[in-house]
Amino acid sequence: MNRKFNLDNLLLSILIFLALILRVGVALRFPNIFWADEIFQSLEPAHRLAFGNGIVTWEFRDGIRSWVLPAILAGIMRLTAWLGEGSTGYLIGSNIFLSLLSLSNILLAYLWGKKLGGTITALICAGICTIWFELIYFSPKAFTEVVATHFLLPGIYLGLNKNSFPLRNRLFLSGCLLGISLALRIHLLPCIAFVVIYICRKDWQQKWLPMLGGIFAPILIFGTVDAFTWSYPFQSFWLNIWVNLVEGKSKLYGVSPWYEYFIFLLKSWSWLFLPIMILAMIGSRRLPILAWSALIIILSHSLLAHKEYRFIYPALSMLMILAGLGTAELVLNLSRKWKSHQKIVIAILICLSLWTSTSVALMSRFNIYNNLNFSTFGTDLENTHLYAATNNLLALQSLSKENTVCGLGLWGINWALSGGYTYFHHNVPIFPVEKIADFAALKAGFNYVVGDISIPSQYQNYTLQKCWQGTCVYKRPGSCSQIIDREINSVLKKSGN
């Protein structure tokens, strides 16, 4: 890019700033849980590293997860805890950090658009990626597949496009980025293998060796971390594959038909699935590697029994870039008939306004667990993913600022939807209270209760503090007693969760 502060740099800076504001703003305004892994496979172990306490799930008892991402997030938590009281500070810091990583999508969309069609194409591609609701929603979430995407796309770009780096150095750096994405999400192996073959072809010495060297470098780092944190090198890679694919552990969390991702896309995009895919197909003529990569990601994940929409987030990012290229091609074809710059600017603004309106409309109905329907607008925003488990998170976050907490009972709330110590923060025990009889056995262990159902009438010493819709915080006077083998980690260990 030109180092001078020209129009291109100004437009890109505006888009990147807008993208950051949207991602951080939505994450802070609508705290939610799409899937429990975003907390208990990344933020919660990070909290345990940073502050010494956290809920330990079976993945981190059995050693099928790498500590690399949690360690990085732990550092972010420690560095940003000063931003707010209780858990607020480091939650803001984590959201900002993850959102900053996601800006690589905007940058790459702009650079690809600039290279393939000029400033107008760059502006449209990056603009669509800036305002698209799924990219805004998922970007601040600590899913490994989301973080991996933000290294995967730059890796592909560097491998394809010449710049000031010598060829071998550029391919080595490309390989490093691809290797990081692979180490974070081993399921991307088919896609990354295709990318390497597409870029290198038959040029073994000049391309294959530096690119493979770059890929293996971060993988070796991840493997070494496993050696120090688990029993042997690369344990989190091989044991994850063995437990989930061979032993079938992942099937316990749901089994879906092979076409489920197609259904997910229809649920998310409604009837607009058709025009979006047509635009992406038009764009694929200019950038076929992204089209093939997106298809490989969707097909390879379709072979797995357990399917979640977040797994194909890398493909969603690619499809948005391709749709941007397709949209820009239509706009450029129209603009050739116009000699007026004002008409061209108006066409671009109308184009981005239509995409923004589409994004807002689909966000208002965004819930892939609802039944399939082809509406355009949603009428119940609280039934979308924006509000999933929000009340629980706000309740625990509020308690993180209380200095009188000596124990917490979860009444009617599943621990996986509670936010864990990531939101609670206090180094005191959490007790799952599932039945009325549990109050009698556990009430001495906690002086605060967070529940989505009323406290049993016989426990009048608990007074209501505050409610967020149906989730309320209750407090009793007095201190807490130690109760052995009933706090959350003991319960999870006994149940194998």
pLDDT 10s digits, 61-78: 999 999 999 999 999 999
Q: Is residue 51 part of a domain?
A: no
Determine the Cα–Cα distance for residues 364 and 382; give it in Å rounded to an integer: 9
Q: How many CB atoms lie within 10 A of CB 419?
A: 31
Q: Cα torsion for 247, 253, 258, 263, to the nearest 10°?
A: -170
Residues 222 and 262 in one domain: yes
Distance from C-alpha of 436 to C-alpha of 453, rounded to nearest angstrom: 11
What is the distance between the alpha carbons of residues 113 and 128, in angstroms, rounded to a whole number?
Answer: 11
Residues 399, 255 share a domain:
no
Reply yes or no on whether the pLDDT at 233 is more than 80.
yes
Residue 368 has pLDDT above 80, yes or no: yes
412 inside domain: yes
Q: Of the residues 310, 330, 364, which one is the last residue of a structural domain?
A: 364
Q: Report d(CA 276, CA 287) in Å as an integer.
A: 16
| pLDDT, position 339 | 67
Read off the CATH number of the domain in which 427 is found.
3.40.190
Give yes or no: residues 199 and 103 share one domain.
yes
- Helix and strand totals (H; E) in the chain: 22, 5
Domain containing residue 85: 2-30+63-364
What is the arithmetic mean of pLDDT over 9-32?
A: 95
Q: Are β-strands 448-451 and 430-433 bridged in parallel, bridged antiparallel, or unpaired?
A: unpaired
pLDDT above 70: residue 1: no
What's the predicted TM-score (pTM) here?
Answer: 0.94
Q: What is the pLDDT of residue 4?
A: 46
Q: Of 329, 349, 364, which residue is a domain's last? A: 364
**Helix extents (H) in 81-143:** 88-117, 119-131, 133-138
The radius of gyration computed from the CA coordinates of the chain, to the nearest angstrom, equals 24
Say what the pLDDT of residue 99 is: 98
Same domain (yes/no): 469, 417 = yes
Residue whose entry in the numeric block shows the structure tokens 């009933």:
486
100 and 228 in a common domain:
yes
Average pLDDT over residues 327-349: 82
- Looking at the structure, do residues 401 and 351 belong to the same domain, yes or no? no
Question: What does DSSP say about strands 471-475 and 463-468: parallel, antiparallel, or unpaired?
Answer: antiparallel
Confidence class for position 13, pLDDT limits 50, 70, 90: very high
Q: Which comes out higher in pLDDT, residue 164 or 53?
A: 53
- Asked if the model's pLDDT at residue 348 lies above 50, the reply is yes
Indicate the helix (H) or strand (E) that contains 411: strand 408-411
Average pLDDT over residues 239-251: 83
Integer CA distances (angstroms), 337 to 122, 279, 283, 333, 340, in order? 20, 21, 21, 8, 9
pLDDT, greater one: 180 or 460: 180
Q: Which of helix, strand or coil describes residue 254?
A: coil
Run of H or E residues at 472: strand 471-475
Residue 25 has pLDDT above 90, yes or no: yes
Residue 217 within any structural domain of the chain: yes
User: Taking residues 105-125, what's their average pLDDT?
Assistant: 95
The arithmetic mean of pLDDT across residues 326-343, rounded, is 82
Number of domains the chain contains: 2
Residues 239, 231: Cα–Cα separation, whole Å: 11
The pLDDT assigned to 461 comes to 87
Q: CA quadruple 279, 284, 290, 294: dihedral positive or negative? A: positive
Is 157 inside any structural domain? Answer: yes
Angle at 82 between CA 38 and CA 420, to 5 degrees: 30
Average pLDDT, the chain: 93
